[in-house]
Structure 1
């Protein structure tokens, strides 16, 4: 399994190139591969779940300036 930070690192490394063609769209990254772009977050998420099921993937907006928002599906049980 790829370290979760690898997908964020892939995003950060590829962001300059993605901005020229995909600014404002949403990218799906699986492991260290950029695999899909969609115009909306929901479209990207739907595509990723249809393609990868419950396996891990990363979805993020392609933008130079962003709000800090992270979503992780596999958080495990909540410690009470």
Structure 2
């Protein structure tokens, strides 16, 4: 898990947002599901918790492994 922490800590805010968005978009993200990623009003901690969960669950970053990598985000 140490390498994962090092990797996650290299991400800037936008990269964290995009990776977390892939996780949320690829799951039934209702209030109950989202509550598991408590971050005490700190959005970067929330994004990191979401990404950590995904890596533990699926073995890689959301942008690299399914189901997250099947999501196409729209940039406006």
Instruction: Give the TM-score of the pair, scaled to structure 2.
Output: 0.29
Normalized per residue, the structure richer in strand is 1
Instruction: Give the TM-score of the pair, scaled to structure 1.
Output: 0.28
Bigger radius of gyration among the two = 1
Normalized per residue, the structure richer in helix is 2
